[in-house]
Amino acid sequence: MGQIGIWQIVIIAVVVVLLFGRGKISELMGDVAKGINSFKKGLKDEDQVADTESIEHKPAENVAVESENKDKASS
């Protein structure tokens, strides 16, 4: 009684098609596919940038010491 059967799914699908029409559903699915492809492309681009770019990370204490040295030098 609590499970959804194949006939309930068919009825829901028919109601959705009647409400939105086949064209609107196709358009919506196309937009979803474009979004997924764009997301995947963004991930690939990000990975390529991370591989080609070398970012120098300094520990926080070194940054603080360097900024103090710059302040003393400019005084």
- Helix or strand (DSSP H, E) at 52: helix 6-52
The larger pLDDT score, comparing residue 73 to residue 2, is at 2
The C-alpha angle 30, 35, 38, rounded to 5 degrees, equals 125
Q: Where are the domains of the chain?
A: 22-53
The pLDDT tens digits of the residues spanning 18-50 come to 888 878 888 888 899 999 999 999 888 877 776
User: CB–CB of 43/35 below 8 Å?
Assistant: no
Query: pTM above the 0.75 mark?
Result: no
The larger pLDDT score, comparing residue 61 to residue 9, is at 9
Distances in Å between the Cα of 35 and the Cα atoms of 31, 42, 45 are 6, 10, 15
